[in-house]
Amino acid sequence: MPLTVAALYKFVALPDVAALQAPLQALCEGFGITGTLLLAPEGLNGTVAGSAEAIAGFLAALQAGPPFGDRLHGLECKLSRAEAPPFRQLKVRVKREIVTFDDGATDAAAGAGTPVAPEAWNALLDTPGLLLIDTRNAFEVALGSFPGAVDPGITRFSAFRDYVDGLDPAAHPRVAMFCTGGIRCEKAGAYMRAKGFADVRHLAGGILRYLETVPEAENRWTGDCFVFDGRIALGPALVERPDHAPETLR
């Protein structure tokens, strides 16, 4: 039976993060789901899989009631399918950041830039003089990207800061960026705005939301989108692309 996969995140202050790990673990176990969830003082990030009913119940419980109250209400979440279990086990971990960047110095919740809906993304790509940045790691970019996007050539997200520090804000009046699910862009966007880039936009919901939302006939994405689970990559409509061997993606 196909499984439902939920890629989710939200930047929100969680000062009680240490006390949340055990209840979150228990919540996941109660619904019989597997995957990885990262907790940090800045929020929650992760991908989990289970039956459609289990994932629906888990997401509902996550956004209302203990252990988070309503702090995770409206979290960013993309649902897709997997023909085989994409995770072997459940991991719930506490980290400094939900996406490693600069030890929490950049506050994504304080101003990540302007989100652009997938339906409006194609029009933005046609903006003259637009600096379009793919914020993902180089091996992910090699698998697929938007035509014309700059590849910073990074092997870890924290290196994106060095790339930005080498840019002149005055030379780039409008910047747009994208990543797999949106989380990197919120961090990167906040960092760029703090560095003086006045107009920073990002693809809301990331590549996954774009592939899910935009009809294939209008889709400007080329190639496949790497995902950090056993499926390896997804294509338009979030269909699995099983023809990529894990050892080739390094």
For residues 153 and 37, give the distance between their C-alpha atoms in angstroms, rounded to a whole number: 27
Residues in contact with 85: Cβ distance below 8 Å, sequence separation at least 6, in sequence order: 3, 34, 49, 230
- Tell me 208's DSSP state: H
Q: By C-alpha distance, which of 146, 144, 151 is closest to 224?
A: 144
Using left for φ > 0, alpha for ψ between -120 and 50, and beta otherwise, residue 205 falls in left
Any catalytic annotation for residue 179? yes
For residues 38 and 98, give the distance between their C-alpha atoms in angstroms, rounded to a whole number: 6
Of the residues 28, 77, 179, 225, only one is catalytic, namely 179
- Which residues does the annotation mark as catalytic? 179
